[in-house]
Amino acid sequence: MPGRTSLSDLGFGTRAVHPRKPASQPGEPIAPVLDQSSTYSFTDSAEFARASADKTGAGYVYTRWGNPTLDALAEAIAYLEGTETAETYSSGMAAISGTLLALCSPGDRIVSSRQLYGGTHSLTTTLLPRFDIQTTKCDVDDYDAVKAALPGAKLLYCETIGNPAIRVADLGRWGELAADAGVPLVVDNTFASPVLCRPVEYGARIVVHSATKFIGGHHDLIGGVVCADAETIEQLRGLTRELGPTLAPFNAWLCLRGLQSIHLRVPRSSDTALDLARYLGSHPEIERVFYPALESNEDYEITKKILGGRGGGTLAFEVKGGRGRAARFQEKLRVIMAAASLGGSHSLIVHAASVTHTQLTEDELRAAGISPGFCRLSVGLEDPDDLIADLEQALAP
């Protein structure tokens, strides 16, 4: 109504929307600040215009362009990975697809390891070819094939620890091959985390993560991140700001909380995984165990060089009797849960051919080393003796 001159004169509905703000007090919060706002206001119209034109760095306008909690997470992970900066995404696959789409154009070709997460395999074999972006895949230790495939390629891509057969890439060799060919090396460091490996130290230019895994660490968020130099990240932002695979601020806040314990969780799960690998390696119902920290593993020396001797929190093994026997074994587990993720507080198991790598044909499964009885076990934070006892009772006839 006319005549209202102060906030106290505003109507009830207006006061509900525009509450009175408390007086500021000294003191900085120790916990990361969660900023849930989707949009931001300005009192200076010139600043509003500059921030809107710049999208990042000149002020917060809209969370798809920038948000304080997202920026805090990006800087925290970049700091651990040793890169200039980073960009956050709504999922690990958003981070991977955003990177490849930003760096490649129609007619370009990618060279990658054959040992890839099922979603990345599907992206490179099914989706990217629709945009005339092809991929040549080589075994992670076939350096001659990688070298032969690189001329004319746009980038080189691999996983530090390949999914699901737990092969470790000799990133030093891959970095040299990329440098000799004059192309960037992109490394998915999800399975290792920056606790065990920082790929930029071996020549990688770009490091991608599913933050859902070890970074978050508690099975309660979906997120992704790309770490790189500022110029590369700016190139990625040009695409992601338009496509909008924005990480939710609350999920970013959960990641920031998870990062504070990552240096404790990763060694714990890695050490327990080695205990389980040794136990399974001597079990009569297990055909074969895949874990790079085992002295008998083909990647043992690379693991010492790249991962400091720890093999990560995920192992794989073949149950004798094929798919049916593997299914019965999983159904008998009581502590270990059948679920498709890794890097969290709970131990999880999946049958790779029917869960994580359903996109692969039978021939592609065999080429990736995935047999009918192949299981992937992500080790959580439970007591090792309890996990061994659970495996023992589930493998009993």
Pairing of strands 185-188, 155-159: parallel
Q: What is the pTM of this model?
A: 0.93
pLDDT at 141 over 70: yes
Angle at CA 314, nearest 5°, toward 141 and 357?
70
pLDDT of 330-341, one tens digit each?
A: 999 999 999 999
Using the predicted structure, report yes or no on whether residue 3 has a pLDDT greater than 60: no
Which residues are within 8 A (CB) of 192 and not within 5 positions of it... i.e. 6 or more apart? Answer: 160, 161, 307, 312
Q: Of 91-100, 160-169, 288-297, give the lowest mean pLDDT range.
A: 160-169
Spot the catalytic one: 108, 170, 188, 299.
188
Active site residue 64: yes
Handedness of CA 169, 246, 132, 124 (dihedral sign): positive
Average pLDDT, the chain: 93
- Which entry of 213, 265, 310, 376 is annotated as an active-site residue? 213
188 is catalytic: yes
Mean pLDDT over residues 121-127, rounded?
Answer: 95
Which residues are bridge partners to 385 per DSSP? none
Q: For residue range 22-33, list pLDDT tens digits in order.
A: 999 999 999 999
Choosing from 64, 241, 257, 278, the catalytic residue is 64
Amino acid letter, residue 291: Y
Q: Using one digit for the tens of pLDDT, what is the confidence trace for 36-87?
A: 999 999 999 999 999 999 887 889 999 999 999 999 999 999 999 999 999 9
Rounded to the nearest 10 degrees, the angle between the axes of helix 92-103 and helix 230-243 is 110
Whether 221 has a pLDDT exceeding 80, the answer reads yes
Name the more confident of 218 and 15: 218
pLDDT at 2: 53
What is the structure's pLDDT at 383? Answer: 98
Judge whether residue 309 has pLDDT over 50. Answer: yes
Q: Which two tokens stand for residue 85?
A: 């900066």
Domains and CATH numbers, the chain: 45-259 (3.40.640.10), 262-395 (3.90.1150.10)
pLDDT score at 1 = 46
Q: What is the pLDDT of residue 264?
A: 98
Q: Which of 60, 89, 117, 202 is catalytic?
A: 117
The pair of three-digit structure tokens given for residue 87, joined into one six-digit string: 């960009």
- Residue 322: in which H helix or E strand, if any? helix 322-332
Please indicate whether residue 40 is annotated as part of the active site. Answer: no
% residues pLDDT > 70 (the chain):
94
Q: Give the mean pLDDT of 208-222.
A: 98
Please say if the pLDDT value at position 358 is more than 80.
no
In sequence order, what are the residues at sequence separation of 6 or more whose Cβ sits closer than 8 angstroms to the Cβ of residue 273?
291, 293, 311, 312, 313, 314, 315, 377, 379
List pLDDT tens digits, range 255-303: 999 999 999 999 999 999 999 999 999 999 999 999 999 999 999 999 9
